[in-house]
Structure 1
């Protein structure tokens, strides 16, 4: 055998261990499984909260860009022009006279869905929102830039 014979402090001969026993590996696997069972639900809840927070931040950034657009051009982009007007100069009326690029690209929400933009809006100067985690517009999990 390739195991080396070594002496312990008392001078007794012992074999040097080269690895773990199957029982030791099983115990470690059980412990890791228990930890995962306890921690994964907590972490996934945090992930959902983080996606909501990320989407709120994105909405605020787009809102700032829309406000700068209005300052420069006297009006917000129309619903037809959409948020693309913040990235590329619109060629549909009203064509902005002092257009600049306000965003590098139009962001999506944290779930990969397009943001919803409507101008004019009934309650606010414009409506800017995400359909939320379920991806369906008009449900209670929608996230609006006006909600705080």
Structure 2
């Protein structure tokens, strides 16, 4: 009798082995959700890193503009732009790479009545976009406020 019970129990286990389709769908949905969260965080982290690189490069450019002013008695004009740091008579103050933001786009430059304004057009590279970053006298400011109140 014991053998019969054992064989019956084994048949029941075999019938219940594996996962139901509903369990598999739930697990796949959970894994997909987790992957989506991870990918979005990784891609967002890349933009944050490039924004940080842009901040650092802009602050470095501000210092290089001060070096230019000390050597030449004035800041470069808007027309001369950041190119004047590369082509400075005597010793170049900056390299071409120094004049590019974290996304590889060239910084824009304007000499305002408040000082040199350095502008990164952000990830999309479009002037005046919501992604633009502005730096005036070593401070990161809202571009719309800065450009409205700082004429050349």
- TM norm structure 1: 0.63
Q: CA RMSD in A?
A: 2.2
The 2-side partners of 1:79 and 1:57 are apart by 22
Task: Deviation per CA, 1:91-110: give whole Å up to 9, x if none.
Answer: xxxxxxxx532112243112
Gaps in structure 1 of 5+ consecutive residues: 1-29, 91-98
Name the structure 2 match of 1:5.
none
Quick one: which of 73, 98, 102 aligns to 1:110?
102
1:73-88 aligned within 5 A: 73-88=72-87
Q: Secondary structure at the match of 1:145?
A: strand
Other-structure match for 2:41:
42
User: Can you give the 5+ residue segments of structure 2 that lack an aligned partner in the other structure?
Assistant: 1-27, 142-152
Aligned residue pairs total 108
Q: What displacement does 1:89 show? A: 2.7
Distance in 2 separating the partners of 1:87 and 1:66: 11
Task: List structure 1 segments (4+ residues) > 3 angstroms apart after TM superposition.
Answer: 33-38
Aligned partner of 2:116 in structure 1 is: 126
Q: How does the TM-score come out when normalised to structure 2?
A: 0.62
Residue correspondence of structure 1 range 1-148 to structure 2 within 5 A? 34=32, 36-89=35-88, 99-105=90-96, 106-119=98-111, 121-122=112-113, 124-146=114-136, 147=140
